Amino acid sequence: MNSVNPFDTKSGNRPVILSGIQPTGGLHIGNLFGAIKNWVAMQDEYQCFFTIVDLHSITIKQVPAELRRNTLEMTAMLIACGIDTDKSVLFVQSHVPEHAQLAWVLNCYTGMGELSRMTQFKDKSVQHSENIVVGLFAYPVLMAADILLYQADMVPVGEDQKQHLELSRDIAQRFNHNYSDTFKIPEPYIPQTGARIMSLQEPTKKMSKSDGNTKATIFLTDSDEEIKNKIRRAVTDSGELLTEKDFEIFSVNQESFSEFIYSRPGLGNLISLYQLATSKSLNEIGKDLAGKGFGDIKSIVADAMANHLNPTRTRYNEIRKDENKLKEILSAGAEKAHAVAFKTLRKVYKKVGFYAL
């Protein structure tokens, strides 16, 4: 029984974190530094559930063989990045049927009007106007089910998912109020160091996997050469060279660095990348980059990023090769997730009045 109950750990009842990621396309450094590194850092302090949300991905048309491959690749990459399946529960959403089951019930406790206000639905229905399906409309309800099934205390979310989390809270509160306490009301988790990585080609835009310009995005599977080439060709602005004094000011006054990034997004992005790749302080970075021209700066950042990503990619290639092992990991994850999800769903079915056998 121990092996299927993730709460039977020596550290006792740690607060629960749940987060999800879609298996559409590969992970890039924006995901790594913006989300995954935070997931990795939370694993000791929290009981974490990380789910690869394949049910969500079919709200947009997918090529079946690609979705299947991406799911496996995402699993391998998350492990390569440091998700430790001895500490955290890593699973694929469709392997745990309770997600779809709870989503159906919650659909009956969510207003059409509430869902019509979701900005992601509005944006995506413009982008995919040829195929606006009911699932896309109900997407946030499935996300609420993901979160509420595990009685998550906190959900690490980026800016774009805050509205969905707010809706999850509303649905949970409504259900609790209608019946009795059933769901924990989840709080947003705002990481202390949420890095925002910008496109290498249009540095005022967030780096994204669906960028039409492949030079704009560094994927974790890119080779050293690809990484270096993309950084060497990054778009920068023309402007003054930075001095060591500038970096000293940045290091004592975070706001001045933010303002700098705002006014010189291309160079600012490169400095942030260097900071993330080397974990150096801004003061130390000044010693490496001050007085240098864009060409030199790009080469230094390119080498640092290639070195930083290389071990992860090596681990990934190793893990990805052993599909049987990956299957074992996912089936253990699904079993642990199911053990928790099942209890919540059973309560819900009882409260809404389903006749139990």
The residue range among 18-26, 59-67, 78-86, 107-115 that interacts with ligand TRP, by the rule CB under 6 A, is 18-26
Cβ distance to ligand TRP smaller for residue 143 or 220: 143
Q: Binding residue for ligand TRP (CB under 6 A) from 19, 88, 201, 272?
A: 19
Phi, psi angles (nearest 5°) of residue 277: -70, -30
Q: Nearest approach, Cβ of 165 to ligand TRP (angstroms)?
A: 7
Q: Between residue 146 and residue 165, which ones bind ligand TRP under the rule CB under 6 A?
A: 146-147, 155, 157, 161
Cβ distance to ligand TRP smaller for residue 143 or 231: 143
Letters for 32-71 (x = contact with ligand TRP by CB under 6 A, - = none) are ---------------------x--x---------------
**Number of residues located near ligand TRP, criterion CB under 6 A:** 12
Task: Read off the amino acid at residue 340.
Answer: V
The residue range among 75-83, 139-147, 216-224, 291-299 that interacts with ligand TRP, by the rule CB under 6 A, is 139-147
Residue nearest to ligand TRP (CB): 20
Active site (catalytic) residues: 124, 206, 209
Continuous H helices in the chain: 29-31, 37-42, 54-57, 64-81, 98-107, 112-116, 119-127, 134-149, 162-178, 224-232, 244-252, 254-263, 265-278, 282-289, 294-321, 323-352
CA nearest neighbour of 173 among 164, 182, 160: 182
Distances 63 to 70, 181, 287, 290 between C-alpha atoms, Å:
10, 41, 48, 47
Task: Establish if 20 lies at the interface with ligand TRP (CB under 6 A).
Answer: yes
Two tokens, residue 347: 């309560």
Give the residue carrying structure tokens 């994204």.
Answer: 208
Q: Binding residue for ligand TRP (CB under 6 A) from 17, 18, 83, 289?
A: 18
Report the alpha-carbon distance of residue 221 to residue 80 in Å, rounded: 11
Those residues whose C-beta lies under 8 Å from the C-beta of residue 14, and which sit 6 or more positions away, are 45, 46, 47
Cβ distance to ligand TRP smaller for residue 103 or 242: 103
Give the residue carrying structure tokens 């399906």.
Answer: 133
Q: Binding residue for ligand TRP (CB under 6 A) from 6, 17, 22, 73?
A: 22
Two tokens, residue 178: 């209608």
Which residues contact ligand TRP by CB under 6 A?
A: 18-20, 22, 53, 56, 143, 146-147, 155, 157, 161
